[in-house]
Structure 1
Amino acid sequence: MGGVWERMIGIARRILDSMLMDLHSKHLTHEVLTTLMAEVCAIVNSRPIVPVLSDPEAPMILSPNMLLTRKTYNIPTDFGPFSIKDMYKSQWRCVQHLANIFLDRWKKEYLQTLQVRRKWQKTLPDLCVGDIVLVKDSSTARCEWPLGIITNAIKSADDKVRKVEVKIVKDDKSMTYTRPISELVLLIHED
């Protein structure tokens, strides 16, 4: 009965409740709150719709924003890092700071729901070359979800894969990063 979207609504509401109960957010004007809610809607609607069935060489992740606007590109919305001091300088910076707080919490809480929950005692197959993953990356702009393909699996001393090299294609440029498996969400396992 709508468990998936009810869970997303619950996550967004829990984040907003904790943010708006904060002492710094008590004096928001109607315009600031309206703009913040528009930013929150943009963040929530930029999430990937799973399962992702994209070619890793030309990644285009289907999102609700693509369905709503019929546009296939991401509008850059990251205007830089903002601190708590910026909240007092202008209302726009206040909204950007609050949107960044929401985005950080949304990434931490929502990305975990994309992974299949399994008991930790089960032995799971290691990530391997050819697996398609989402990269949990805090350095990317708002509303971006980097999709990558594993090019090399690096085993640790216990013969388990703990790090991988991930190839990400962005703006027609191919980049390879080394990431721990805790920063990846497996989408498609290469069989």
Structure 2
Amino acid sequence: MAELPAARITAAQPFSSTGVDYWGPILLKPPHRRAAPTKAYVAVFVCFATKAVHIELVSDLSTAKFIEALRRFVSRRGLCNEIYSDNGRNFVGAANELRQIVRSKDHQQTIARDCAENGNRWHFNPPRASHFGGLWEAAIASAQKHFVRVLGTHTLAYDSMETLLAQIECCLNSRPLVPLSDESTDLEVLTPGHFLTGAALKAVPDIDVTDIPFNRLRQWQQIQKMFQQLWKRWHLEYLSTLQSRSKWCNPPVPIRKNQLVVIKDENSPPMSWPIGRIIELHPGDDGTTRVVTLQTPTGRYTRPVSKICLLPISSAAEKLNSTPTHCKHVNM
């Protein structure tokens, strides 16, 4: 595996280096009952440095529609210095049209000088090399898999689908990354939303409608039910990626006091990540810690280590990156 490119570790601002890809098609509710459902696609923009996600709904795969989605994205997130994508025809066409606009003599006088001189640099992956775009492919997999399962055979109108995708985008950008500090009294974590708004993203409080049948809910409640079902699936899957499960022949992941953790709670509402800091360890007879006491904003709780997820920190990273202890062969 090659080293990370410079765009992955240095960025002047969020989305200055961006990867983009599509998923779909998805079916939208037609304007008339007798009309057939219409197809649409979802464009996913991923920031290389902060892993923030931006989602746009696109009506088709034409170059013109992608340029419209790109303009909406730039209007909200800022101009990109570098854009990475695969060799899709719509991406190639968009890159050619933007290059012609920037270099055209008719438009150079109206476009700002910095945009003309520092136009978007578009990078294409080699043909049939989807693994070169693993960053945005992982973001698509995070949302698409559960989105398809939750949506099922239901069809939504265009504006309802935009609402659902915007909530999914906010959900992905609320995930905890690393602790903000090592202070014992600080229970804040860094999220992609901090780079976009300066603070953690929150959801509007809503009642839990996951157990209510669809035919008893209004249209906006049906959207919330889909979002709540997706949240319950996705956030548990994301927390499982934070839990390092080593084999018995390897030493366990070190658990120390003052570490910041995410508490695994299946009933947590959307956009809520219960955070706690380890204040006491309860090791067993073999010296391995399986139970800890946590300090949370609402009090102290005792939880097994299977219900907490350690956030990456420098000391833990050094232990995890060290050479693992190999199993000894035992003659039976």
* TM-score bracket relative to the smaller structure: 0.7 to 0.9
| Cα deviation, residue 117, structure 1 | 5.8
Does residue 1:166 correspond to 2:309, yes or no?
A: no
Once the two structures are superposed, residues 77-110 of structure 1 have per-residue CA deviations (whole angstroms, 9 ceiling, x without a partner) of 3412113535332111111111111111111211
1:79 to 195, 198, 206: 206
| Number of residue pairs matched by the alignment | 182
Does residue 1:136 correspond to 2:260, yes or no?
A: no
The match for 2:242 is 114
| Cα deviation, residue 5, structure 1 | 4.7
Larger Rg: 2
| Cα deviation, residue 41, structure 1 | 0.8
Does residue 1:148 correspond to 2:272, yes or no?
A: no
The match for 2:164 is 36
The match for 2:302 is 178
SS of 2:295's equivalent in the other structure is strand
SS of 2:250's equivalent in the other structure is coil
The 3 A distance-change label for structure 1 pair 87 and 117 is same
Give the distance between the partners of 2:205 and 2:133, measured in 1 at CA.
32
CA RMSD, 1 decimal = 2.7
1:62 to 170, 186, 190: 190
Give the distance between the partners of 2:172 and 2:250, measured in 1 at CA.
32
The match for 2:120 is none
Give the distance between the partners of 2:201 and 2:299, measured in 1 at CA.
19
Unpaired runs of at least 5, structure 1: none
**Range 150-159 or range 55-64, more displaced:** 150-159
SS of 1:177's equivalent in the other structure is strand
Q: TM-score, normalised by structure 1?
A: 0.79
Q: TM-score, normalised by structure 2?
A: 0.48
The match for 2:11 is none
Give the distance between the partners of 1:93 and 1:131, measured in 2 at CA.
39
Once the two structures are superposed, residues 35-93 of structure 1 have per-residue CA deviations (whole angstroms, 9 ceiling, x without a partner) of 111111110111123x32423412222222222223x2543434121135353321111
Q: Does the CA contact (< 8 Å) of 1:43 and 1:142 recur in 2?
A: yes
Q: Does the CA contact (< 8 Å) of 1:127 and 1:161 recur in 2?
A: yes
Q: Does the CA contact (< 8 Å) of 2:193 and 2:201 recur in 1?
A: no
SS of 1:164's equivalent in the other structure is strand
Counterpart residue identity of residue 251, structure 2: T
The match for 2:150 is 19
The 3 A distance-change label for structure 1 pair 47 and 87 is same
The 3 A distance-change label for structure 1 pair 123 and 106 is same
Counterpart residue identity of residue 300, structure 2: T
| Cα deviation, residue 175, structure 1 | 1.3
1:9 to 136, 140, 157: 140
The 3 A distance-change label for structure 1 pair 85 and 155 is same
SS of 2:212's equivalent in the other structure is helix
Unpaired runs of at least 5, structure 2: 1-131, 320-332
| Cα deviation, residue 167, structure 1 | 0.6
The 3 A distance-change label for structure 1 pair 122 and 103 is same
Give the distance between the partners of 2:173 and 2:295, measured in 1 at CA.
25
Q: Does the CA contact (< 8 Å) of 1:74 and 1:144 recur in 2?
A: no
Once the two structures are superposed, residues 130-158 of structure 1 have per-residue CA deviations (whole angstroms, 9 ceiling, x without a partner) of 22212122343321223221122223465
| Cα deviation, residue 33, structure 1 | 1.8
2:176 to 36, 48, 51: 48
